[in-house]
Amino acid sequence: MRYDTKMSKNSTVYDVIISGGGLVGLTTALALDSAGLRVCVVDALPFETQLAAEFDGRSSAIAYANMRMLRALGVADRLGDNKGPINEILVSDGRPHSGLRKGGPGPFMLHFDAAEFTGKDAGEPLGWMVENRHMRMALLGEARSRKTITLIAEVRAEQFNFEGARAQVHLSDGQVLSAALVVGAEGRNSPARKAASIRHHGWGYGQWGVVATVAHQMPHNGIAHEYFLPNGPFAILPLSGNRASLVWTETPAAARYLKTAPDDFFQAELERRFGSFLGELTPAGPRWAYPLTLMVVEKYIAPRLALVGDAAHGMHPIAGQGFNAGIRDAAALADVLADTARAGLDIADPIALERYQQWRRFDNTALLAATEGFVRLFSNDVAPIRLLRGLGMAAVDKIGPARRFFAREAGGGVGALPHLLRGELPQ
């Protein structure tokens, strides 16, 4: 076991053990620490491995309400210039270049513009783009700076005992930690979820997401593009400088090939799809390929256990909402646990955990359903369906309130917001 922080290692001091210190586990640690709880995070990997450039090539679109939370937690400052605003999103049907037809986005059918925000959201961008490795660095930097958070790396949480007044977590090096509550944040194959016998269901989309960064000649002006090709969506997401992150959906076989294809082949295939609207393109750095799947769980809680992030819900990245949903889980859990602790109750009180579940399960299920619908509608090249989605997008585009509703919904600025999503610390 490697302790990453220098505080007391007496396991009896923890209120919460977070099993899994990925993007959502670390966000949850900061949120719960800000709610006054004593938190220990355990991750199977060395944190340095997670920070290495080759570990995770993805970038995340962070909803604007979630960036308010990261600001309140001290993470946004640590991101510095490594975050860039998304000012506009253009959605269109795209066609790859073939013969005389030019590739790239078609005429846009749906246009979201941050300039349309009014009231409390006025002046906010639609969201922010951050490379995951910068996000991991900022989250970890903030967690390390808080002496009240214990970080343990290079050990796996292997067995869990949820009975009695405190839960026990047995680690791969033989140590046993205990706390009032365990938070399962180990991603889709959560061992905590399995130990609590919570069932999950899901399916693969028969699609993989190829992820790469490209440098381009002309500025992107903070405009994100999402367009739909026969094998699935192709997203161009603006990064700092003249760079963009691509999420390119392909069949598994094509994705595996593109990941390791010679540079000139990759470049040619890229240009066929990307088009020339940002001038000359230069692929920068390695490529990654992720299988795309959906996962739902039968419940988010069990005695002395709460699930957050991909341990609780797995969704297609078409709407860039997986990490965002995990950030919202962390915010809601922090409010619920802060209220419960203030009332002098056991933080794993079943009624409190039920409140967390009700708060998050409905939102996440609605998001999963919407994502599922988008994937089916937009990964389809059948002519009537293309016509239907074109008409649907054009209709939403014509109706200002509908456009603004979708922009706010994706930005996380609607519904009953926990304190952190309003930019305030849990009270």
* Residues in contact with ligand FAD, shown as a per-residue x/- string from 103 to 132 under the rule CB under 6 A: ------------------------------
Distances (CA, A) of 218 to 74, 81, 390: 33, 19, 28
* Shortest Å, Cβ 285 to ligand FAD: 15
Position 233 contacts ligand FAD (CB under 6 A)? no
* Residue 364 is a binding residue for ligand FAD (CB under 6 A): no
In terms of CB distance, is 44 or 353 closer to ligand FAD? Answer: 44
Write the DSSP string, 327-392: HHHHHHHHHHHHHHHHTT--TT-HHHHHHHHHHHHHHHHHHHHHHHHHHHHHS---HHHHHHHHHH
Structure tokens at 311: 């341990």
Q: Which is nearer to ligand FAD, 25 or 413 (by Cβ)?
A: 25
In the complex, what is the shortest distance from the CB of residue 368 to ligand FAD, in angstroms, rounded to a whole number?
A: 12
Residue 394 near residue 109 (C-beta atoms within 8 A): yes
User: Shortest CA distance to 22 belongs to which of 147, 135, 155, 127?
Assistant: 135
Quickly count: other Cβ atoms within 10 Å of residue 381's Cβ: 12
Asked if residue 170 binds ligand FAD (CB under 6 A), the reply is: no
- Position 256 contacts ligand FAD (CB under 6 A): no
Q: Phi and psi dihedrals of 415, rounded to 5?
A: 90, -175
Instruction: Give yes or no for residue 275 binding ligand FAD (CB under 6 A).
Output: no
Q: Which pair of tokens denotes residue 364?
A: 């996440």
Taking CB under 6 A as the rule, does residue 323 contact ligand FAD?
yes
**If we measure between CA atoms, which residue out of 18, 126, 388, 86 comes closest to residue 236?**
86
Asked if 25 interacts with ligand FAD (CB under 6 A), we say: yes
Does residue number 30 form part of the binding site for ligand FAD (CB under 6 A)? no
Nearest to 94 by CA among 282, 244, 275: 275
Q: Is 19 in the site for ligand FAD (CB under 6 A)?
A: yes
According to the binding rule CB under 6 A, does residue 185 interact with ligand FAD?
yes
Distance CA 332, CA 341 (A): 14
- Of 16, 17, 18, 24, which lies in the binding site for ligand FAD, with binding defined by CB under 6 A? 24
Q: Contact, 358 vs 415, CB < 8 A?
A: no
**Closest distance between ligand FAD and the C-beta of residue 100, in Å?**
32
43 lies in the binding site for ligand FAD (CB under 6 A): yes
User: Minimum CB separation from ligand FAD for residue 65, in Å?
Assistant: 12
Is residue 43 classed as helix, strand or coil in its secondary structure? strand
* Backbone CA torsion sign across 334, 173, 56, 139: positive
C-beta of 244: minimal distance to ligand FAD in Å? 13
Binding of residue 90 to ligand FAD (CB under 6 A): no
Binding mask 292-311 for ligand FAD (x = CB under 6 A): -----------------xx-
410 binds ligand FAD (CB under 6 A): no
247 belongs to the binding site for ligand FAD (CB under 6 A): yes
391 burial type by CB count under 10 A (0-12 exposed, 13-18 middle, 19+ buried): exposed
Q: According to CB under 6 A, which residues from 191 to 220 bind ligand FAD?
A: 191, 209, 211
Number of residues that bind ligand FAD (CB under 6 A): 33
156 near ligand FAD, judged by CB under 6 A = yes
Positions in the binding site for ligand FAD (CB under 6 A):
19-25, 42-45, 58, 60-61, 156-157, 185-187, 191, 209, 211, 247, 290, 309-310, 317, 320-324, 326
